[in-house]
Chain A
Amino acid sequence: MEEGLMPIMASQGRSDARGTAQLLAGMALDCIANPAVARERQVALNNVYRLLESYRVNRYFGSELRSQGYQNEAQRLALKRPVERHVKEVRDALEYARKVAFGDASKDDALQRLETVLRLVTYPDANEGQVSDEDQQRATQFFRALGDHLRVGLEAE
């Protein structure tokens, strides 16, 4: 944000995707470690899925331009929500976490395994069995690496 134009209060509308991703990573970690709390966090976990899917399938995810985060005076007073900023950094953090947890596995394969863990944690189904220990460990590794990468990036600013 341009110097001198920092909003004083939340109600003036920041929109930083890194914060959202950090919250989502933290919640996913909690629920994987303790599936008993997952039921009351279904809404949040569905958003973890949405984030992973955007990263997996959307060619434009994280392609927002730096200039889109900035607004002129009239736009700052406009009624619409500010454009989400730092989606690219979220995409980079997801990329990093995938490499840490899944190495050279394909993006589709890694994400589908992650999404299966999330689904079984969020909506347990006796017919589908349980999450394997290996997948649980990799998912934990993934979300930990995601949160850490975002935090380190933010601290470096």
Chain B
Amino acid sequence: MKPEEFLQEEFANVERALHETLRYDYGPEETLVYYRECENRLNEIKKQIARIAPSEIWAQLNELASLSVWISLIERSRLGEFSWPFAALIRDIAKPLLTERIYRGKIVVEPIIHVVAEGEGYQIVYEVVPPPSTNHRFAIVAFPRPLKHHVLLHAIFGHEIGHTAQHTNDAGDLIGRTVADELTVTGHLSAAAQINTWLNDPAAPKEIKNDLAQYLADNGVPYVFPEIYLEKWVEELVCDLFGLLLFGPGFVAAHQVLLRPTHRTPYEFDLLEPTHPPYAVRHKMLVRALRLLNWDKPVTRTDQGNVHQAELTALNFILDDPYIAWASFFENAQLSGALQGLRNVLRLYGNFEYRQPAPKNLADLIDRLTRRLPPIGADIDENGTPTFSGMSPVHSLFAGWVYWLGKDHLVGTNALSFLETNKLCDQALLQDRGILVGKAE
């Protein structure tokens, strides 16, 4: 079989795989668009193959390989293995941010956001260099399978959406110019040499001093921070701010609960592959940002009794920052500038910026949880018609955190478990989405 014949064979194989997916039952949303995108890509590839040069056969096989992965993902959407109302929330946020304006708006193309459950952690995979046959880019949102109901932790997707948005040509360009540039104009992230100075600062914690000494002993030369990772640190910190502005204090709670235990010490980082800044740097930045945004004060009033006490306890946990001043990266003005830049981006692409709930609304949501009901901001009147309070589902998540962290003030020994709290919040998102869909119809 000649290479060009094999290419034809592979094309037929991928085409057959796509058609066979029609035998399966899939989710109610997006599947048709997804299928059509695969079908259109195949049609484009067919045109390309008709003119292919022998030297390009390998690259064309490469494109077919990519398409075959996308097709296999249709079959594995696995509805029921993740919180689909949360997935719908991610779609709402991500779609405008990832929509492309080709030739500055002559053609507007929405992404296809496909959701799967995975064995790994929270991730969004985006097509950075789309193959020639691409019309809509794919963005695959991967929920961790074991955390099916843990919507309080899913706030960490705010960070992942930040990664994807930064890699787009539209929102990414703006974030680069108004947020990342602000964080790198001065200070530790302005150059790799500045990171080296910071690492060798006499005020550095003993963990860092020990790691640097060990590196010197092993290699005979002092450690030098690899320049290529500087942008990675910038990207990660921008993502953390992204999550904060999308999900508010609940993001910092999820960040803390998920990330803190995965670090041996809060100051450590992988010297050879420093993909992420030390946890202490990230947490310290988030706590400072919370204060700059004025989100460090309780929403509820002192006359709201137990609920107020519960919120204070939750905020104490979220704002707890036991790390040394060395881990502080930015001046207040610099961080404020970056936050303002990011707020402008979020306002430009949608109305997703976190806003604090009204005191009574937050108290009502928490009260529902204490009565083991989903914390939803909608009441049903005598006719069975829901009256929607206009609260964001993100407020249900914050109420979940306040309940969980401050439950000692709210209930006795009969408190909900963390899983039960999450399940009720997941149900609230489901009901909220149901009302939204019902109203749209």
Interface residue A96 (Cβ < 8 Å from any Cβ of B)? no
Most chain A beta-carbon neighbours within 10 Å: one of B123, B172, B231? B172
Interface string of A12-49 (1 = CB under 8 A from B): 11111111111110110010000000001101101101
Q: What is the number of residues of chain B that contact chain A, defined by CB distance less than 8 Å? A: 66
**Chain A nearest CB, measured from B277 CB (Å):** 15
Interface residue A100 (Cβ < 8 Å from any Cβ of B)? no
Cβ of B66 and Cβ of A15 under 8 Å apart?
yes
Interface residue A67 (Cβ < 8 Å from any Cβ of B)? yes
- How many A-B residue contacts, CB cutoff 8 Å? 162
A123 to B102, CA, bound (A): 12
A115 to B103, CA, bound (A): 8
Interface residue B140 (Cβ < 8 Å from any Cβ of A)? yes
Interface string of B83-108 (1 = CB under 8 A from A): 00000000000000000101100110
Closest to B124 in A: A80
Cβ of A47 and Cβ of B130 under 8 Å apart?
yes
Interface residue B119 (Cβ < 8 Å from any Cβ of A)? yes
A25 to B77, CA, bound (A): 34
Cβ of A61 and Cβ of B128 under 8 Å apart?
yes
Interface residue A90 (Cβ < 8 Å from any Cβ of B)? yes
Known A-B contacts A44-B132, A90-B129; A75 and B120 likewise in contact (beta carbons under 8 Å):
yes
Cβ of B64 and Cβ of A10 under 8 Å apart?
yes
A 75-131 contacts with B by CB, 8 A = 75, 78-84, 87, 90, 115, 119, 123
Determine the chain A residues whose CB is within 8 A of the CB of B125 once the complex forms: 80-81, 83
Across the interface, B44 reaches (CB within 8 A) one of A43, A58, A87, namely A43
Interface residue B310 (Cβ < 8 Å from any Cβ of A)? no
Contact surface of B with A, Cβ cutoff 8 Å:
10, 13-14, 17, 40, 44, 47-48, 51, 53, 55-56, 58-66, 68-70, 72-73, 76, 100, 102-103, 106-107, 109, 116, 118-120, 123, 125, 127-135, 138, 140, 142, 166-169, 172-173, 176, 180, 228-229, 231-232, 235, 273, 275
In the complex, 12 of the A-B residue pairs with CB atoms within 8 angstroms, ordered by the A residue number, are A11-B13, A13-B65, A13-B68, A19-B62, A50-B100, A50-B130, A57-B173, A58-B172, A61-B128, A74-B119, A79-B116, A80-B140
Contact surface of A with B, Cβ cutoff 8 Å:
10-24, 26-27, 30, 40-41, 43-44, 46-47, 49-51, 53-54, 57-61, 63-65, 67, 74-75, 78-84, 87, 90, 115, 119, 123, 151
